[in-house]
Structure 1
Amino acid sequence: MLASQRKQQILQILARDKQVHSGELSQRFGLSEDSIRRDLRELAAEGLLQRVHGGALPISDAIAPLETRKYVQSESKQVVAKKAVALIQPGLVVFLDGGTTTLELVKQLPANLSFTAVTHSPTIAVALVDFPQVEVILVGGVLFRHSVVTMGAAMLESINRINADLYFMGVTGIHPRAGFTTGHYEEACVKRALAGRAAETVVMASADKLNSASAFAIGELNMASTLVVEHDLTGDLRAACQKHGMTLI
């Protein structure tokens, strides 16, 4: 079998099983694990999978720059946002992460809903200008251009003075083995910090984020109390969410 054919089969197995193990692939193809690891390295370099210890996971499509992500899974994000907006009750203090799904959430807000929104996303803050009943706290810091959010010591110091009721956390991947992941190390650190300052963490997940992973771990699935999705979960991901006591909407 040609290497290109083997790699294609690996991708097919990955799409079907949502993970591959180097040892199992070695036995399947009658090759050494070194040869399989080389295949996985090359596929990872092409952006076709995410390597993890012992194998690989499907790579998330949600790691593109913000402007590109506006047009990815837009209908799925709208459906998820409509479900999630009911979680925001009058008087709450709510952390709003950056990202296109959160932007859809803002668009679904009732015009007369009164709450306090805390965000490190200038894009989200500007979108909230049209909601006069919402008090908006924009947390400053160093601008991370890829996601258009602030980061750094000043940002972290500011959120450490806030106790939020809810945190709508943006992720790029949700996988039963890898947990919640994102494409950038500093973003993962910021998300953990925000989750640590909120009574409840809510994750809104469009279809492209399910059963996929990115390079940097935010945390295990038990760090979120609620997962909002377009369609009901199945298989290992549903079982993992239930195991961790997560509410599925």
Structure 2
Amino acid sequence: MLTAERKRKLLEVLQSEGKILASELSRRFGVSEDTVRRDLRELDRAGFLQRVHGGALPRTPTSVEHKARQKESTDAKKRIGAAAAQLLRQGQLVALDAGTTPLAVLDRLAPDLSLTIVTHSLPAATVLAEHPRIEVVVIGGRLFKSARAGVGVATVDAYRLLRPDLCILGAAGLHPEAGVTTFDSEEAEVKRAMIAHAARVAVVVASEKLGTVAPHLITPAGRLTHLITDSAAADDLLAPYREMGVEVVAV
């Protein structure tokens, strides 16, 4: 089998089965595992998949830049934001992640809602400045320009001191085995600090991110209490989270 043909078949397997196991594919194609791993490395570098230990998973389709993400899945984000807003209660302490999907939650907050929101997101802080009742705590740090948010030691340390009632978490990818992932290592560290002591963790992701991964792990999927996505998500993609005890809302 020619290299180009083998790579094409690898991508076909990834599309139909949702993952690639190097050991299984080496037997199926009659080549060594080293050959399959080399193919996967090259496909990873070309942006067709995300290599993981033992094989590969679909790469998240979302963009790195905040400006580009504002144009992605806009209708789905509005519905997801509205559903996530229903989790907020009077008097809570809420940690709000950076990103365009967590930002969509703020569009549906009732004007009489009185609680405290802590965020490292500059766009979120700007929106919340207009709310009449919500107390806003802005966490600083080094500005991660592509995300319009703070990162670094100061950001992480500030979140580690909090015990939020609820964390609204964004993600670049979500997979039942690979967990909740994102593009940047510093961004991942901030997100881990956000959820470290949170009573509830609700991840808000468009359906196109389900079953995909990004390079940096935030947390295993079992740490989530809620998954809020859009109704385009197939039942077989949502079933593993329900089996983990995650409350799934598809709107």
TM-score bracket, normalised by the shorter chain, equals over 0.9
The one-letter amino acid of 1:171's match is A
Three-state SS of the structure 1 residue aligned to 2:200 is: strand
The one-letter amino acid of 1:76's match is A
2:134 counterpart residue number: 134
Q: What does the per-residue CA deviation read over 1:9-47, in whole Å, with 9 as the maximum and x for residues that have no partner?
A: 211211121101111211222222111111101110011
Conservation of the 8 A alpha-carbon contact between 1:159 and 1:197: no
2: CA distance, partners of 1:229 / 1:154: 31
1:152 counterpart residue number: 152
The one-letter amino acid of 1:208's match is E
2: CA distance, partners of 1:64 / 1:153: 22
The one-letter amino acid of 1:43's match is L
1:217 counterpart residue number: 217
2:182 counterpart residue number: 182
1:158 to partner: Cα distance:
2.1
**TM score, norm. by length of structure 1:** 0.94
2:101 counterpart residue number: 101
The one-letter amino acid of 2:235's match is T
RMSD across aligned positions (CA): 1.5
1: CA distance, partners of 2:218 / 2:170: 10
2: CA distance, partners of 1:217 / 1:137: 26
1:234 to partner: Cα distance:
2.4
Q: What does the per-residue CA deviation read over 1:204-241, in whole Å, with 9 as the maximum and x for residues that have no partner?
A: 11012100011111111111111111125522x43431
1:234 counterpart residue number: 235
Three-state SS of the structure 2 residue aligned to 1:89 is: coil
Conservation of the 8 A alpha-carbon contact between 2:222 and 2:244: yes
Three-state SS of the structure 2 residue aligned to 1:48 is: coil
2:208 counterpart residue number: 208
1:72 counterpart residue number: 72
1: CA distance, partners of 2:169 / 2:78: 16
Between 138-147 and 27-36, report the one with greater CA deviation: 27-36
Counterparts in 2 of 1:31 and 1:190: CA distance versus 1, 3 Å: same
The runs of 5 or more residues in structure 1 that have no matched partner are none
Equivalent pairs counted in the alignment come to 248
The one-letter amino acid of 1:133's match is R
The one-letter amino acid of 2:150's match is T
Q: Which runs of 4+ in 1 moved over 3 A?
A: none
2: CA distance, partners of 1:160 / 1:21: 37
Between 5-14 and 165-174, report the one with greater CA deviation: 5-14
Conservation of the 8 A alpha-carbon contact between 1:93 and 1:165: yes
1:35 counterpart residue number: 35
2: CA distance, partners of 1:223 / 1:68: 29
**TM score, norm. by length of structure 2:** 0.93
1: CA distance, partners of 2:71 / 2:97: 19
Q: Percent identity?
A: 37
1:57 counterpart residue number: 57
1:155 to partner: Cα distance:
1.7
Three-state SS of the structure 1 residue aligned to 2:162 is: coil
Conservation of the 8 A alpha-carbon contact between 1:122 and 1:149: yes
Conservation of the 8 A alpha-carbon contact between 1:98 and 1:149: yes
Three-state SS of the structure 1 residue aligned to 2:62 is: coil
The runs of 5 or more residues in structure 2 that have no matched partner are none
